[in-house]
A and B are shown apart, each in its own frame.
Chain A
Amino acid sequence: MADENNSLKEEEEKVKPEYGAVACEGVEVKLDEMKPDEMKPVEVKPDEMKPVEMKPVEVKLDEMKPDEMKPVEVKPVEVKPDEMKPVEVKLDEVKPVEVKLDEVKPVEVKADKVKADEEKPAEEKRAEEDEEWMKMEVEMGADSYSEDVSSEEPELDLSLLELTVDREKCRHIRRQYRQLIYTVQQHREDIVNTASDTLTEALEEANVLFDGVSRTREAALDAQFLVLASDLGKEKAKQLNSDMNSFNYVAFCDLLFSFVGLNWIEDEFEELSDCGDSVALSFWEAVHKESMCWIKQAETFHFIFGSFKAEPSTRKRRLEYKRAHKMEENGDMPTKLRKLDVHANQETTEKEVERILGLLQTYFQKYPDTPVSYFEFVIDPHSFSRTVENIFYVSFIIRDGFARIRLDQDRLPVLEPTNINKVDEDTDASSYSRKQGVISLSLQDWKNIVSTFEISEAMIKNTY
């Protein structure tokens, strides 16, 4: 017995000097089962807020697991009902320690109680613990403590009941705290900006809630709420200051317009964006000009003829342009252009030529021995540029010898197929005097031809 007492005393003394009381008005934190590295002080900073009447209440720590004990500024502790295990505290681990800044209270009573506990049956151990705590509170009640601490002579049944009810109560309290914090955060704007009593009411509610707090978890939530409330209080105080100076934004805005000389804006248009771009530009330039008189900006240095390395800047400009396009635009989306492969020009020409040759040969197969009028073949009544392209491609056909062009009776050019069988004539073809013809076609000519020949649709159909 004595040994145990001594060991307990030693441990108490070991622990005592390390931890001080909570830096809050009259709140004491008793720690049992504490390990030096877990215990972090509860920091509450009430700065610039209304003095809150916080009744001093003891906070008990029944079960302290390493991960649960967190500093107050952290988000509320996630409590799962499973975590609330019944306290299985062995006698050895029980270190009822009373921690205080100034006073050093005698600890003998605890030792006696512990001694007494040994003799009692195991199932009452837990109850005894609580009993001890209550006794402790009574002892320390010498200072200004609340009266809701249980009576001096607790009965075992009552204490047992209280313990089971405690869990529910604590959960309820935590829920209420979280709700309070949530509502205050949601109405943050409202609280800060209006002259309402919402903040005071919330604080009073927290006060009431705090009466029922008996464990660190709830105390942590309470401290979190306190930090939030004090932040809001600080903002409210700031608001108070600035109201005295009465800087009116709307007036500033309107005066900016009148300063620039755009007095009529308020009457005719709602916003600056409704007016034309030039008006807005002149507004911003005027403001800029005036601002330059009040700020000692160094003018940026640019070479007159530019510097050599132009590449980086264009790359940046392109990026900015892309980024600007990602945003919402007032205007319509620009019509997307198809990517033109400029390098495939050579193949395109050949392909086109082959295609047109195919068309021509089909025609000749359909209508053998009838030369087709050149104009009818080439002209596209809907597109002048297509017409020119067709002429270009047909010239290739003629050059390669797949068709022939000659003037018919009416002195109009016609296209004739050449006989591919006559291979012999190939050598002769070269001996033929190469005749060259230059066809010039202006827009007016094209229109005239279309109307004269009454060409309604192009013979050379396009794929696209």
Chain B
Amino acid sequence: MLQKPRNGACASAQAHSSRDLGPVGDTGVLNVSSGPSSSKDTLNSSSQGSHSSQTATYPGLRTQKQLELKVAELVQFLLIKDQKKMPIKRTGILKHVIRDYKDIFPDLLKLAVERLEYVFGYKLVELEPKRNTYILVNALEPLEEDASVRGDQGTPTTGLLMIILGLIFMNGNGIAESEVWDFLQRLGVYPTRKHFIFGDPKKLITEDFVRQRYLEYQRIPHTDPAEYQFQWGPRTNLETSKMKVLKFVAKVHNQDPTDWPAQYCEALVDEENRASPELSGPILSS
């Protein structure tokens, strides 16, 4: 394969801008370099992919420029789709961005993931294993000093969310809806009254947060009239942890997290679980 020596050359070059087309470049050889961790395997597989695609689809020969464009489109798509904080579906990605580049979708996605991480500092994470929905999570740990610099985008719902998450965790990983409202009413948030910041709080909590997968809203069995309870959703476990929520609660109380021994133990166990099977965690697996 004529590509190999080229790969060796561009591996040392800049991460993503390998404009190396090679002597057969004008015919559009698929030459994808995958950053500093470039592996010949992906290149070979992608080249094989291109060979198979040559026979399969009409625009089988793709130039480097086209690929770059596609990756850029994908990154932009993911960033904009994340505005509403709703999980991004793989079918959506394939339909709107990838279209006929389906065969190299895994490579494109991989590139996009890397770009997001290195340029923006975001991680594209699979929400639930094998469900094909993704979310963007900040790869950087938040610093307190940055709080003033952070933009005020939209309504400050994270505060409300964090309070609810704290309530759920401190109550043993599940809390009845009625108790949540009892608490929130003391803060001036009512399920039936319009709130000047949050609009419709009931909708925000029981629908928006649930759709964003921060919370789970389930019916308690054998209750009549129906009652519901809140639990942590999958996104919460990805973006924050029990220890962090406990620390938040402790900070508000101006106490130490160890003052709540049961919750502290639970949080420690959770931390251990996160630390050890890190590799088998919810990392993007295409």
Chain A interface (Cβ < 8 Å from any Cβ of B):
185, 188, 227-228, 231, 238, 241-242, 244-245, 247, 249-253, 255-256, 259, 271-274, 277, 280-281, 283-302, 307, 320, 323-324, 327-330
B224:A185 contact, CB within 8 angstroms: yes
What's the least CB distance linking B93 to chain A, in Å?
16
Q: Interface size bucket, B side? A: 35 or more
Residues of A near B183 (CB, < 8 A) are 249, 252-253
Q: CA–CA, A256 to B222, complex, Å?
A: 35
B187 lies within 8 A of A259 (CB):
no
Cβ of A228: which chain B residues have Cβ within 8 Å of it?
222
Question: Residue B58 at the A interface, CB < 8 A?
Answer: no
Complexed CA–CA distance, A450 and B219 (Å) = 72
State in angstroms the CA–CA spacing of A330 and B122 once bound together: 41
Interface contact B254-A259, CB-CB below 8 Å: yes
**Contact count A vs B, C-beta below 8 Å:** 167
Minimal beta-carbon separation of B17 from chain A (angstroms): 22
CB pair B194 A327 closer than 8 Å:
yes
Contact indicator A231/B222 (Cβ below 8 Å): yes
- Which residues of the partner chain A approach B85 to less than 8 Å between Cβ atoms? 300
Contacts of A188 in B (CB 8 A): 223
| A292 interface neighbour in B79, B158, B185, B223, Cβ under 8 Å | B158
Distance in Å: Cβ of A117 to nearest Cβ of chain B:
45
In the bound complex, CA of A307 to CA of B81 (Å): 13
B248 lies within 8 A of A291 (CB): yes
B118 at the interface (CB under 8 A from A): no
Determine whether the beta carbon of A299 is less than 8 Å from that of B150. Answer: yes
If A287-B159, A324-B194 touch, whether A293 touches B144 (CB-CB below 8 Å) is yes
Query: Which of B19-27, B31-39, B43-51, B239-247 touches A?
Result: B239-247
Query: 20 interchain pairs (CB within 8 A)?
Result: A247-B171, A250-B186, A252-B170, A253-B186, A256-B163, A259-B252, A281-B196, A286-B159, A288-B157, A288-B158, A289-B159, A290-B252, A293-B144, A293-B147, A294-B162, A298-B82, A298-B136, A298-B137, A299-B138, A323-B200
Residues of B within 8 A of A320 (CB): 199
- Contact among A271, A293, A298 for B186, CB-based, below 8 A: A271
- Looking at B79, B194, B247, the one whose CB has the most chain A CB atoms below 10 A away is B194
Q: Which residue of A lies closest to B260 (CB)?
A: A245
A294-B245, A298-B122 as given contacts; A285 in contact with B156, CB under 8 Å: yes
Give which listed residue, B83, B143, B239, B244, contacts A302 with CB less than 8 A: B83
Q: A252-B253, A280-B197, A284-B159 are in contact. Are A242 and B187 (CB under 8 A)?
A: no
Known A244-B262, A247-B260; judge A328-B193 contact (CB<8 A).
yes
- A256/B252 in contact, CB under 8 A: yes
**Other-chain contact of B161, A249, A291, A323, A324 (Cβ < 8 Å):** A291
Interchain CB contact under 8 A, B251 and A301: no
Give the docked Cα–Cα distance between A283 and B147 (Å): 15
B142: contacting residue among A185, A250, A251, A292, CB under 8 A: A292
> Given the interface contacts A273-B188, A327-B200, does A238 sit within 8 Å of B158 by beta carbon?
no
Report the Cα distance A250→B163, complex, angstroms. 13
Q: When chains A and B are docked, how far (Å) is the Cα of A281 from the Cα of B160?
A: 12
A277 cross-chain contacts in B, Cβ below 8 A: 196
Of residues 198 to 221 in B, which have CB atoms within 8 Å of A's CB atoms? 199-200, 221
Contact B253 A327 (CB under 8 A): no
Contact A255 B188 (CB under 8 A): no
**Which residues of chain B come closer than 8 Å to A296, judged between CB atoms?**
137-142, 239-240
Least Cβ distance of A458 to chain B in Å?
43
Known contacts A185-B224, A271-B186, A288-B158; A255 and B245 CB within 8 A of each other: no
Are B153 and A299 interface neighbours, CB within 8 A?
yes
Asked whether, in the complex, the Cβ of A284 is within 8 Å of the Cβ of B197, the reply is yes
Instruction: Given A252-B253, A293-B147, check contact A245 B263 (CB 8 Å).
Output: yes
Determine if B172 is an interface residue (Cβ-Cβ < 8 Å).
yes
Question: Is B244 a contact of A294 with CB atoms below 8 Å?
Answer: yes
The complex places the Cα of A277 from the Cα of B138 at a distance, in Å, of: 32
> Within the assembled complex, what's the spacing in Å between the Cα atoms of A327 and B202?
11
